[in-house]
Structure 1
Amino acid sequence: MLPLIRSGVLLAVFLATLTSLRPSGAQAASGDGLSKGQLVYVPVYSHVYYGDRERMILLTAILSIRNTDVRHAITVVKADYYDSEGKLIRRYLSQPVTLKPMASTRFVVKESDTCGGSGANFLVEWQAETEVDEPIMEGVMIGAAVQQGISFTSRGKAIRKH
Structure 2
Amino acid sequence: MKTIRCLPGLLLFALLLLPPAEGHADGTMELSKGQTVYVPAYSHIYVGNRERPFLLTITLSIRNIDAKNPVTITAADYYDTKGKRIRKYLEQPVSLGPWESIRYIVPQKDKSGGSGANFVVEWSAEKGVNPVLVETIMIGAESQQGISFTSRGQAISTAH
Tell me if both proteins adopt one fold, taking TM over 0.5 as the criterion: yes
CA contact (8 A) 1:26 1:157 kept: no
Q: 2:31 aligns with which of 34, 45, 49?
A: 34
1:128-148 deviation line (CA, Å, top 9, x unaligned): 000000111001001011201
CA contact (8 A) 1:60 1:143 kept: yes
Residue 26 of structure 1 deviates from its aligned partner by 9.5
Match of 1:18 in 2: none
Q: Which has the larger radius of gyration?
A: 2
In structure 2, the CA distance between the partners of 1:148 and 1:84, relative to structure 1 (3 Å rule), is same
| In 2: Cα distance, 1:26 partner to 1:111 partner | 36
Matched to 2:41, the amino acid is V
Q: 2:47 aligns with which of 33, 45, 50?
A: 50
Aligned pair 1:122/2:119, yes or no?
A: yes
Aligned length: 134
Secondary structure at 1:62's aligned position in 2?
strand
Match of 2:92 in 1: 95
How high is the TM-score relative to the length of structure 2? Answer: 0.81
Q: 1:145 aligns with which of 142, 150, 154?
A: 142
How high is the TM-score relative to the length of structure 1? Answer: 0.80
Secondary structure at 1:122's aligned position in 2?
strand
After TM superposition, which residue ranges in structure 1, 4 or more long, deviate above 2 angstroms?
none
- Unpaired runs of at least 5, structure 2: 1-20, 24-28
Matched to 1:88, the amino acid is R
Q: Please provide the CA RMSD for this pair.
A: 1.6
| In 1: Cα distance, 2:30 partner to 2:144 partner | 41
- Unpaired runs of at least 5, structure 1: 1-24
Residue 33 of structure 1 deviates from its aligned partner by 3.2
CA contact (8 A) 1:26 1:155 kept: no
| In 2: Cα distance, 1:140 partner to 1:61 partner | 6
CA contact (8 A) 1:67 1:103 kept: yes
Secondary structure at 1:84's aligned position in 2?
coil
| In 2: Cα distance, 1:56 partner to 1:91 partner | 25
1:6-34 deviation line (CA, Å, top 9, x unaligned): xxxxxxxxxxxxxxxxxxx999xxxx531
